[in-house]
């Protein structure tokens, strides 16, 4: 086990609101994500995972037109498969529900992670076209990244 970062047995990881959106983007880019250049206007809220004072994971809820989407999800490599991304996505879902969203969308380069979170693949439809539209000009599209659109229906609390 690595002596650094959150893989130290004693290092505790905490999840909380993140206001430093530049740090979220830096973490994402360092972990292979591409900045589509949409800026911060659509970002509703962001969360970070910190370990030993270091940002090791991040995510945001982003509004894209009428769609609520998960974006900028990344966890540092040595901290993966410990449930950090799951915990970050739970925050996004909670916030989306609080805002009245019935669905949560994602353009995913790691679709299997999102399937594990209860998302379903979307094979066609206008939302898919909208969300993938932004990928066509990305230099990673079809090379390092073959994105899929997925959606999760959010429970409305039984009403």
Ligand X SMILES: CC(C)(COP(=O)(O)OP(=O)(O)OC[C@H]1O[C@@H](n2cnc3c(N)ncnc32)[C@H](O)[C@@H]1OP(=O)(O)O)[C@@H](O)C(=O)NCCC(=O)NCCS
Helix (H, G, I), strand (E, B) or coil at 84: helix
Choose one: 14-22, 25-33, 90-98, 128-136; the region binding ligand X (CB under 6 A). 25-33
Residue 158 C-beta: closest distance to ligand X, Å = 27
Q: Do the bridges between strand 67-75 and strand 103-108 make them parallel or antiparallel, or are there none, so unpaired?
A: parallel
In this chain, which of 58, 60, 61, 73 binds ligand X, going by CB under 6 A?
73
Choose one: 6-14, 36-44, 60-68, 81-89; the region binding ligand X (CB under 6 A). 81-89
Q: Which is nearer to ligand X, 31 or 130 (CB)?
A: 31
C-alpha 83/C-alpha 75 separation (Å) is 10
Residue 86 C-beta: closest distance to ligand X, Å = 3
Burial zone of 154 (CB within 10 Å; 0-12 exposed, 13-18 middle, 19+ buried): middle
């Amino acid at each position: 086990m690595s002596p650094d970062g959150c893989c130290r047995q004693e290092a505790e990881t905490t999840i909380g609101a993140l206001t430093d959106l530049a740090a979220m983007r830096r973490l994402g880019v360092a972990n292979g994500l591409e900045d589509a250049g949409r800026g911060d206007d659509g970002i509703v809220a962001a969360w970070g995972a910190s370990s030993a004072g270091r940002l090791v994971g991040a995510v945001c809820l982003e509004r894209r037109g009428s769609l609520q989407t998960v974006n900028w999800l990344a966890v540092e490599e040595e901290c993966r498969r410990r449930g950090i991304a799951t915990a970050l996505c739970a925050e996004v879902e909670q916030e989306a529900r609080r805002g009245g969203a019935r669905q949560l969308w994602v353009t995913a380069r790691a679709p299997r992670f999102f399937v594990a979170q209860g998302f379903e693949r979307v094979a066609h439809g206008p939302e898919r076209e909208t969300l993938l539209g932004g990928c066509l000009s990305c230099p990673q599209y079809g090379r390092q990244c073959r994105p899929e659109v997925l959606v999760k229906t959010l429970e409305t609390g039984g009403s």
